[in-house]
Structure formats: C-alpha cells, structure tokens
Amino acid sequence: MDSWRTAALRAAAAELASAISHGRLLAISLNAPVCVAVSGGRVRFEVPGGGACSGTAVAATAGQAVKLSGDALVSANGPPVVFTHLGAAAPAGAYTVSDQTGGRTRRVVVAVSGRVSVQ
C-alpha cells in the first residue's frame, strides 16, 4: 500500500507539472501572458491582472480547468506563476503536492526561465 501511495503522489506531481507546462505553451502560442491559477486539484489558465490572476479565463481555454486525477492536494508557495509571451515565468514559483493520507509531499518548481521540474 505504501508503494502505491508513493507512486500516486509522484504521478500527481508529474500531472501538475504537465498542466503548468501547458500554460507556458499556451502563453507562447497566444503571444500573450498567461497566469496559472491552482486551486485544490484544479488548474486554470487566466488573464493576468495587477501581477496576479484576474479570474478571467484565457479565451483559448473556454474557461475549462484541468482537473488533476487522484485525491492529492495542491497548494501554491507564493504568488501564482505568470508566463510571459516568451515562455519565461514572472515570478518563478513552487507548488506543493500533498498526499492526504500519508502526509508525504512533492514540490513542483517553476524557474524564471519557465522550466518546470518535480522535486
């Protein structure tokens, strides 16, 4: 059971990293900044406003949120990441993915360059 929980947490962190990377690619393809809003187990791509997410969905996504599978909890460590039209992150950020039952965590880090990694 312990191995299964570890694998599920690793998969949830990889899924979050993939969703954040999608936000970066969306910013590059639209040639416009995109804010990555993470709430619970959902990731939304929003138009940035005043250095934060505005709550207005990026038109290309039609307001659809990416729902992460499993029951892992995701929390942001700092302000939301905003990708520029060149794919850089301003500011860089980190997210913590937590296993509700085992208390284990994994971090998903976004560098200023826009590179997304799981630690």
Ordered per-residue pLDDT tens for the chain, 119 residues: 788 888 889 999 999 999 999 999 999 999 999 999 998 788 999 999 887 888 899 988 877 888 887 778 898 999 999 999 999 999 999 999 998 887 899 999 999 999 999 99
Pairwise CA distance, residues 81 & 23, whole Å:
10
Three-state DSSP state, 9: helix
The two counts, helices (H) then strands (E), for the chain are 1, 9
β-pair type (34-39, 81-83) = antiparallel
Pairwise CA distance, residues 95 & 90, whole Å:
15
Measured CA distances, 95 to 37, 51, 73 (Å): 11, 18, 10
pTM above 0.95, yes or no: no
